[in-house]
């Protein structure tokens, strides 16, 4: 398998000044001494710059960064009340967190996902991915990321919201994992929502594979209507994305 077809390659890589951030929480009942068989999940261990932090029950009660509280907690509870309840009842939370300078391959993501899979083997029951506003039971995580979960689409979320005047806003979350801005498609007519969703998925793939858009770039790709120009904006503190974003306005018919 050559570099252009390898599942963890970035064949369109163009380095940015951003950092890729991995952030996951694994709730469960873990032994005091963790012995992880990461190699059986295709991982070399924690990527450089990424660390594993442990929060036991007593610490969880006072932890300001608890992902099951606040606005994120409400979203996760609504997503799956039973899985949320299982996470709340766990005695331990392990947080995998860190940033890396824009990597030339996606091997760091493979390694991180493999560590999480290994944690599920030793007591992990629920995984929270705050960048996707999602939580997964151990079984759902294994199914979604079977064989390493190389497809970038599985690591980002595509959302559709009201944009006023009967139009829709199609946007993503999770692209910070790839050191790339999230995607915002504004002014999408109702009839074009499915098409816009497909465009967003295509942009996820292109950016995850290393492509980088600059301000003013005309978007030219299969299935994309002509006349869409990239506008970079936002910040890492933007609550809509928790990331910078790249915005396109859907052209009028």
Same domain, 73 and 192: no
Q: Which residues pair with 49 in a beta bridge?
A: none
Give yes or no: residues 144 and 82 share one domain.
yes
- The token duo for 58 is 């007593």
Contact 35, 119 (CB under 8 A): no
E strand or H helix that includes residue 148: none
Does one domain contain both 60 and 24?
Answer: yes
8 Å CB contact between 24 and 128: yes
Give the distance, in angstroms, between the CA of residue 109 and the centroid of all CA atoms in the same chain.
Answer: 10
Kindly report the number of other CB atoms within 10 A of residue 18's CB atom. Answer: 19
- Asked whether residue 107 falls in the same domain as residue 146, the answer is yes
Q: Characterize the bridge pairing of strands 243-249 and 167-173.
A: unpaired
Q: Give residue 64's pLDDT.
A: 79
Query: Does one domain contain both 115 and 225?
Result: no
- Residues 81 and 175 reside in one and the same domain: no
State residue 149's pLDDT score.
64
Q: Are residues 122 and 158 in the same domain?
A: no
pLDDT at 120: 97
Shared domain check, 109 and 183: no
The answer to whether residue 7 is domain-embedded is no
Q: Give the pLDDT score at 152.
A: 84
Decide which of 98, 132, 150 is a domain's last residue. Answer: 150
Per-residue pLDDT tens for 166-187?
Answer: 999 999 999 999 999 999 999 9
Predicted confidence at residue 148, as pLDDT, reads: 62
What is the per-residue pLDDT for 2? Answer: 39
Q: Are residues 219 and 196 in the same domain?
A: yes
Residues 143 and 180 in one domain: no
Rounded Cα–Cα distance for residues 128 and 120 (Å): 12
Sheet strands (E) in the chain: 19-28, 50-56, 92-101, 124-129, 134-137, 157-164, 167-173, 182-189, 231-235, 243-249
CA 190 to CA 30: how far, in whole Å? Answer: 47
Residues 174 and 189 in one domain: yes
State residue 150's pLDDT score: 65
Q: Which residues of the chain have pLDDT under 70?
A: 1-6, 147-150, 253
Other CB atoms closer than 10 Å to residue 77's CB: what's the count?
A: 16
Inside any domain, residue 3: no
Asked if residue 181 and residue 109 are part of one domain, the reply reads: no
Is 71 a domain residue? yes
Q: How far is CA 155 from CA 94, 151, 208, 242, in A?
A: 19, 8, 10, 15
How many domains is the chain built from? 2
| Strand 92-101, strand 19-28: pairing | antiparallel
Q: Domain span at residue 165?
A: 154-249
Q: Can you give the pLDDT at residue 147?
A: 63
Looking at residue 5, its pLDDT comes to: 43
Asked if the structure places residue 8 within a domain, the reply is no
How far is Cα 125 from Cα 147, in angstroms, rounded to an integer?
A: 19
């Amino acid at each position: 398998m050559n570099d252009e077809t390898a599942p963890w390659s970035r064949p369109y890589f163009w380095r940015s000044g951003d950092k890729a951030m991995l952030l996951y929480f694994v709730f469960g009942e873990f032994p005091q001494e963790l012995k992880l068989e990461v190699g059986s999940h295709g991982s070399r261990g924690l990527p450089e710059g990424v660390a594993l932090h442990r929060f036991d029950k007593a610490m969880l009660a006072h932890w300001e960064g608890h992902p099951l509280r606040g606005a994120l907690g409400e979203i996760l509870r609504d997503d799956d009340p039973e899985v949320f309840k299982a996470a709340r009842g766990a005695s331990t939370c392990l947080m995998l967190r860190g940033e890396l300078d824009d990597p030339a391959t996606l091997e760091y993501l493979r390694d991180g996902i493999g560590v999480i899979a290994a944690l599920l083997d030793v007591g992990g029951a629920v995984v929270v991915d705050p960048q996707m506003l999602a939580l997964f039971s151990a079984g759902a995580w294994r199914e979604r990321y079977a064989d390493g979960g190389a497809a970038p689409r599985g690591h980002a979320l595509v959302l559709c919201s009201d944009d006023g005047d009967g139009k829709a806003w199609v946007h993503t979350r999770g692209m910070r994992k790839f050191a790339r801005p999230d995607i915002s498609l504004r002014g999408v007519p109702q009839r074009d929502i499915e098409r816009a969703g497909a465009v967003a998925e295509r942009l996820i793939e292109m950016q995850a594979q290393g492509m980088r858009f600059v301000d003013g770039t005309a978007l030219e790709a299969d299935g994309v209507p002509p006349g869409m120009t990239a506008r970079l904006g936002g910040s890492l503190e933007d609550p809509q994305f928790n990331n910078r974003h790249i915005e396109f306005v859907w052209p009028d018919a």
